[in-house]
A and B are shown apart, each in its own frame.
Chain A
Amino acid sequence: QVQLQESGPGLVKPSETLSLTCTVSGGSVSSGSYYWNWIRQPPGKGLEWIGYIYYSGSTRNNPSLKSRVTISKDTSKNQFSLKLSSVTAADTAVYYCARYHPQGGMDVWGQGTTVIVSS
């Protein structure tokens, strides 16, 4: 059974870069047709999609985040990562990684990790 686990600093200073990693167990980030997603949820608010990396390595990001987002994967470590640059307090949120397959939906989520942006 595939499991996802987010990791990374819980506190980031304004204007710096937020970096998170999602470790995949029980499956492979290179498995065919899977999209590996990052989603966030500010305190008391709804879900916001950040972006994904396809198993092939192609990526797509939420246009609202403009060019601040970089998503990559490390096949040797079976991980995929998020970098969000120039963070502000508005980037404070619980960050989730999640797996999507066209035949099964976004069916596996990590437990989420809280990131606070503050000096």
Chain B
Amino acid sequence: SYEVTQPPSVSVSPGQTASITCSGDKLGDKDACWFQQKPGQSPVLVIYHNSWRPSGIPERFSGSNSGNTATLTISGTQAMDEADYYCQAWDSSTVIFGGGTKLTVL
């Protein structure tokens, strides 16, 4: 079965750029999305179609997907961006989630 892999944790200083990766075989040929989840809350879509931002999502969130890796980039990271982030892709009409990455802003 298809799998995507994320690093368990990423740390970033406030104001710096955070990059969270999601790796999978030929992931660039698929449609990748990203979700942000804060403690006790439902996930929120922050990137879809690899790089599109839903309305209401700050411009500092961006995404890319090429080769075997999709990347979520947060520019000018703020304390409020500290959360768990999940990538998601489709394979054979099934939904695949990555294991999640805990982003720490310190």
Contacts and interface: CB of A to CB of B under 8 A. Distances in A.
Contacts of A62: 94-95
Contacts of B45: 105-107
Given A105-B54, A107-B45, A47 B97 contact: yes
Interface in B74-88: 84, 86, 88
Contacts of A55: none
Interface stretch (A19-27, A75-83, A84-92, A109-117): A109-117
For chain B, what secondary structure do more than half of its interface residues adopt (helix, strand, loop), or is it mixed? strand
Interface residues of B, number: 23
Interface range on chain A (Cβ under 8 Å from partner) = 20 to 34
A60 interface: yes
Interface in B31-52: 33, 35, 37, 42-45, 48-49, 52
Contacts of B99: 46
B96 A49 contact: yes
Contacts of A104: 48, 54
B48 A105 contact: yes
Most chain A beta-carbon neighbours within 10 Å: one of B33, B48, B96, B99? B48
Interface of B: 1, 33, 35, 37, 42-45, 48-49, 52, 54, 84, 86, 88, 93-100
The 3 closest A-B pairs by CB, nearest first: A105-B48, A49-B95, A46-B100
Given A47-B97, A106-B33, A106-B35, 6 more contacts: A37-B95, A46-B100, A47-B43, A60-B93, A105-B45, A109-B43
